[in-house]
């Protein structure tokens, strides 16, 4: 019996729950809890009509450790899948410790008052999880998640070492809105406006946000401007691929997105410190989130594809010298919407969350303590990507990126 509790009923939670219902041999009972129960009910209704599977729903404020502990105690799942926001990570990990239940998430903890993406807060749970005999799997989305599994697959099957690694994340989708973000706007804007950081010669090098721009021709999308930025998997990849000389992360943004973001930043709307408005304290970025389109609402109108992958250079396993491989997935927004009612950014995160959960529930990945996705055998996860709607390809390139 593999009873699972999913917390968070946004786009990612919706995709994960739909895909769990489509794999009822692994996920025999699905429970969904979130701050707004109506969102859980809407997902349960969609899952029922698409798959015939029932999903039990609950309201929960996951910042409240004792309420979450009580809910987990009542449901008694084998695994809690945290698809709420990064702010809730530690509170949900505490509730898992209180109840002795395994934990999985897709984004590392961030304090609300500081845009810092670091694993140290969650890695600090290592001893407590090990002593309790439970497992936490961190970062089981696409990036972080699949991009790290891609790197480890290359290290297992193609390259003895990875000297250079570039992660390229392109969303070539068009949602028809002047400005919207494809996942939670608050988290997205905090990430994009933070200084860029890349790994070079054993340390992180910081540069101003969006200051390194390059053009790249993405298969299925075309030529796009991409910007170097910090992304949390660089920290775990630097740890688990110790020989890596340089690791960088790139994401594409359209000119319209940059124009709107620049204005919002210039007028102070992306600030995360409270300001007083009419005698009430508000955080400008949280207010901005409230007026922007909900990412889940972009599904019906988004057309185009995402293309996310890794370009890795290192010593070939077969002894043939240094080689470069490009491994990637291309996902179509309209296909993702037809299958689960959500666009591809939610789809490419929710499917790997389901697969990570399947790895834990089937025993393919086991352990006691806190683990990053790089620490497990990539093969069963890569097989499920092919079977579950995120097929990948690998090709050899002439050499690393020329910039």
| Side-chain-facing half-sphere of 118: CA atoms under 13 Å | 8
* CB-based contact 28:369 (threshold 8 Å): no
* CB-based contact 341:206 (threshold 8 Å): no
User: Of residues 4, 44, 101, 143, which one binds ligand NDP by CB under 6 A?
Assistant: 143
The verdict on 349 binding ligand NDP (CB under 6 A) reads yes
* Stretch of 78-86, 194-202, 366-374, 385-393 contacting ligand NDP, by CB under 6 A: 78-86
Task: State the residue number with the nearest CB to ligand NDP.
Answer: 10
Whose Cβ is closer to ligand NDP: residue 158's or residue 333's? 333
User: Of residues 4, 5, 6, 9, which one binds ligand NDP by CB under 6 A?
Assistant: 9
Footprint on residues 96-135 left by ligand NDP (CB under 6 A): 106-107
User: Of residues 2, 6, 10, 326, which one binds ligand NDP by CB under 6 A?
Assistant: 10
The verdict on 385 binding ligand NDP (CB under 6 A) reads no
Handedness of CA 118, 361, 80, 54 (dihedral sign): positive
DSSP label at residue 292: S
The verdict on 295 binding ligand NDP (CB under 6 A) reads yes
Question: Angle at the Cα of 189 (from 183 to 193), degrees rounded to 5?
Answer: 145
Residue 182, phi-psi category: left (phi > 0), alpha (psi -120 to 50), beta (remainder): alpha
Q: What is the distance between the alpha carbons of residues 271 and 284, in angstroms, rounded to a whole number? A: 6
The verdict on 12 binding ligand NDP (CB under 6 A) reads yes
* Stretch of 46-54, 136-144, 223-231, 319-327 contacting ligand NDP, by CB under 6 A: 136-144
The verdict on 36 binding ligand NDP (CB under 6 A) reads yes
How does DSSP assign 319-383, residue by residue? SS-EEEEEEEEEEEHHHHHHHHSS-HHHHHHHHHHHHHHHHHHHTSS--SEEEEGGGS-HHHHHH
The verdict on 35 binding ligand NDP (CB under 6 A) reads yes
The verdict on 6 binding ligand NDP (CB under 6 A) reads no
Shortest gap between Cβ of 202 and ligand NDP (angstroms)? 26
Contacts with ligand NDP: how many residues (CB under 6 A)?
A: 34
* CB-based contact 95:23 (threshold 8 Å): no
The verdict on 32 binding ligand NDP (CB under 6 A) reads no
Q: What is the distance between the alpha carbons of residues 348 and 362, in angstroms, rounded to a whole number? A: 21
Identify whether 144 is preceded by a cis peptide bond (ω within 30 of 0): yes
User: Of residues 144, 172, 299, 314, which one binds ligand NDP by CB under 6 A?
Assistant: 144
The verdict on 341 binding ligand NDP (CB under 6 A) reads no
User: Of residues 21, 27, 47, 86, which one binds ligand NDP by CB under 6 A?
Assistant: 86
How does DSSP assign 98-146, residue by residue? HHT-EEEESS----TTS----SHHHHTTHHHHHHHT-EEEE--BTTTBH
Footprint on residues 157-216 left by ligand NDP (CB under 6 A): 183-184, 187
Token pair belonging to 15: 């995709």
User: Of residues 109, 129, 142, 153, which one binds ligand NDP by CB under 6 A?
Assistant: 142
Q: What is the distance between the alpha carbons of residues 116 and 110, in angstroms, rounded to a whole number? A: 6
Name the residue among 208, 224, 205 with its Cα closest to residue 216. 224
* Stretch of 79-87, 149-157, 195-203, 374-382 contacting ligand NDP, by CB under 6 A: 79-87
Collapsed DSSP state (helix, strand, coil) of residue 262? helix
The verdict on 57 binding ligand NDP (CB under 6 A) reads no
Shortest gap between Cβ of 401 and ligand NDP (angstroms)? 22
Whose Cβ is closer to ligand NDP: residue 22's or residue 60's? 60
The verdict on 55 binding ligand NDP (CB under 6 A) reads no
Strand partners, 89: none
Whose Cβ is closer to ligand NDP: residue 143's or residue 166's? 143
The verdict on 62 binding ligand NDP (CB under 6 A) reads yes
Q: What is the distance between the alpha carbons of residues 31 and 75, in angstroms, rounded to a whole number? A: 8
| Cα radius of gyration (the chain) | 20
Whose Cβ is closer to ligand NDP: residue 9's or residue 228's? 9
The verdict on 357 binding ligand NDP (CB under 6 A) reads no
Contact positions vs ligand NDP (CB under 6 A): 7-13, 34-36, 39, 60-63, 83-86, 88, 106-107, 141-145, 183-184, 187, 295-296, 346, 349
């Amino acid at each position: 019996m593999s009873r699972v509790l999913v917390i968070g009923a946004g786009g990612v939670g919706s995709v994960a729950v739909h895909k769990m219902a489509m794999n009822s041999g692994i996920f025999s009972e699905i429970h969904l809890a979130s701050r707004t129960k109506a969102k859980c009910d809407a997902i349960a209704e969609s899952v029922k009509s698409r798959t015939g599977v029932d999903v039990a729903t609950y309201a929960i404020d996951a910042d409240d450790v004792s309420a979450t502990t009580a809910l987990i105690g009542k449901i008694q799942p084998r695994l809690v899948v945290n698809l709420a926001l990064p702010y809730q990570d530690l509170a949900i990990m505490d509730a898992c410790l209180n109840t002795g239940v395994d934990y999985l998430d897709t984004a590392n903890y961030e304090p609300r008052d500081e845009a810092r993406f670091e694993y140290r807060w969650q890695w600090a749970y290592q001893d407590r999880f090990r002593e309790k005999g439970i497992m936490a799997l961190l970062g089981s989305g696409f990036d972080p998640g699949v991009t790290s599994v891609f790197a480890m697959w290359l290290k297992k099957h193609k390259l003895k070492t990875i000297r250079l690694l570039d992660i390229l994340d392109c969303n070539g989708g068009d949602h028809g809105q002047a400005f919207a973000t494809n996942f939670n706007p608050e988290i997205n804007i905090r990430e994009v406006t933070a200084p860029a950081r890349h790994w070079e010669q054993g340390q992180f090098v910081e540069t101003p946000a969006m200051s390194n721009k390059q053009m790249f021709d993405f298969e299925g999308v075309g030529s796009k401007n991409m910007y170097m930025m910090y992304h949390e998997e660089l920290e775990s990849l630097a740890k688990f691929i110790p020989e890596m000389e340089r690791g960088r992360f790139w994401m594409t943004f359209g000119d319209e997105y940059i124009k709107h973001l620049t204005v919002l930043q210039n007028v102070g709307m992306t600030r995360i410190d409270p300001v007083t408005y009419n005698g009430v304290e508000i955080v400008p970025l949280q207010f901005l989130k409230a007026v922007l389109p909900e990412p889940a609402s972009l599904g019906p109108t988004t057309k185009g594809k995402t293309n996310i992958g890794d370009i890795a250079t290192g010593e070939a396993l077969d002894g043939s010298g240094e080689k470069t491989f490009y491994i990637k997935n291309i996902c179509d927004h309209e296909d993702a919407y037809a299958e689960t009612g959500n666009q591809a950014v939610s789809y490419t995160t929710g499917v790997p969350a389901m697969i990570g959960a399947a790895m834990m529930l089937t025993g393919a990945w086991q352990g006691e303590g806190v683990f990053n996705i790089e620490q497990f055998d990539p093969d069963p996860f890569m097989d499920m990507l092919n079977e579950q709607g995120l097929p990948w390809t690998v090709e050899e390139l002439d050499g690393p990126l020329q910039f």
